[in-house]
Amino acid sequence: MAHLASGVEPRRRWADPNTGFAWLRMIGSFLVVIEHCAPLTDPSQLTLLPESWGFSPGYTALMGFFAMSGFQIADSWQRDPCWWRFAGKRVLRIWPPLLTVVIVTALVIGPLATTLSVREYFSSSATWGYIVNNAGLYTLQHPLPGVFENNPYSWSANGSLWTLPMELTGYLIVLGLGLVAGFTRYRWLAVVVLIALVAFDRRFEASIGDPGTGGGFLSVPIGSAVAFLVAFVVGVMLVTYRDSLALSPAVAWALVGMQAAVVATEVGPFTLPFVAGYGAVVLAHHWPRRLEGHDRWVYGSYGLYIWAFPLQQLLIMAGLDSQWSLTLAAVPAAYVAGLLSWRYVEEPTMSLRRYLAPRRRKRRAPTPPATVGTVPAPVPIARARESARTSARHE
């Protein structure tokens, strides 16, 4: 422990996990955008890859998203177990970017892309209902009157929004577990929730492009929601039992190999949330350190995800009707939109979290006794503060 005496921080092999989470979210968002180019140009194509393969990069990325969210949101609760601050942080994270893209889609893109006259478009209740219903999340409305009507995928102005109410449900699960179980004394309740979700997942049998037999709650397909929430609670479990569940790359790769063997079988949809969830969290904790410090270029993953779909629809209207031409144009356009969303919407609104910070009582520091010996190492304050800020960005 020589570094303690010298005050020098020990050399770390891996990047801060929050760096890994940020990069993985951006990479996953790109995979979703690329895969959406297939059905948007040809609705008969379910995914980027042949359906017989039983594998979807975008669907797998979504599983990873949910597991990473479960991990970070549960960790956020453990660091600050206050229900109203927890809720306030979630509101500031989800709704400002969502409302921005919904309002711009309805009031700017809509009039330009509709087959109706401007008067007819703005006099339609569906135009204003698009804003109100999507703001409610569980009441999502996908079409706008006459908008993208001549595009191959004409029934949704922004299909990417469909996972957001499922994400919100995951937040409610964490809130419930935090209030009832505290993630400490009764942490076994998280195991009960996971077992229940797995049981429902097997009953509903949702899979890639198939919401299963669970029906729907308002606009939410229950089967798909349960499947994604299994991955979410896997992330929660990795926080709840972090003292006994190791994040091992060897185990993660073994699970990937197992998944490759069963991907095209009936077992594949059952194991995918566990493999993708555990793998994403492990990879985030074993991310290359050399990428640390460049996080600002990957903070726009949420904005990229929710802006890409309407931008892709606009590019199709402009004449990019092949999957690969759309991919080449949509990926950079969505990336720029994500960066702008982060810079001008997400970062300013998330800075309001400072008003949610718990008040700290000032305590008079005790006078240290005069002793002879080594001087305690100074805490790397600057790095600790930066790590806290980075973590807050994606809670």
Per-residue pLDDT 10s for the chain (395 aa) are: 334 444 444 567 888 899 999 999 999 999 999 999 999 999 988 888 777 777 889 999 999 999 999 999 999 999 888 899 999 999 999 999 999 999 999 999 999 999 999 999 999 999 999 999 999 999 999 999 999 999 999 999 999 999 999 999 999 999 999 888 777 778 888 899 999 999 999 888 888 877 888 888 888 999 999 999 999 999 999 999 888 888 999 999 999 999 999 888 888 888 999 999 999 999 999 998 888 877 788 999 999 999 999 999 999 999 998 999 999 999 999 999 999 999 999 999 988 888 887 766 555 555 444 433 333 333 343 444 444 444 555 56
* 192: phi then psi, degrees, rounded to nearest 5: -60, -45
Angle at 230 between CA 393 and CA 395, to 5 degrees: 10
Residue 207: predicted pLDDT: 80
d(CA 201, CA 224): 8
Residue 150 contacts residue 115 (beta carbons within 8 Å) = yes
What lies within 8 Å, CB to CB, of 342 at 6+ separation is: 299, 300, 302, 303
Task: Write down the pTM of the prediction.
Answer: 0.86
- For residue 234, what are its two tokens? 């896997």
The stretches of 136-185 forming alpha helices (DSSP H) are: 164-180
Q: What is the pLDDT of residue 145?
A: 96
Which ranges constitute the DSSP H helices of 181-319? 188-204, 222-240, 249-262, 268-285, 301-317
Cα angle value 27/67/17 (rounded, 5°): 65
- The Cβ of residue 86 has, within 10 Å, a number of other Cβ atoms equal to 21
Please tell me whether residue 147 adopts helix, strand or coil conformation.
strand
- Give the chain's end-to-end CA distance (angstroms, integer): 33
Give the pLDDT score at 3.
42
- Residue 86: strand, helix, or coil: helix
Rounded Cα gap, residues 5 and 304, in angstroms:
46
Residue carrying structure tokens 């995928």: 153
**Cα dist from 103 to 132, 313, 321, whole Å:** 10, 16, 26
How far is it, in rounded angstroms, from Cα 296 to Cα 347? 11
For 22, 199, 355, the CA distances from 359, given in Å and listed in that order, are: 29, 42, 10
CA angle, 253 as apex, 249 and 256 as ends, to 5°? 140
Token pair of 207, please? 């899979």
* pLDDT computed for residue 373 by the predictor: 38
Dist. CA 301–CA 289, nearest whole Å: 20
| Angle at which helices 57-79 and 222-240 cross, to 10° | 50
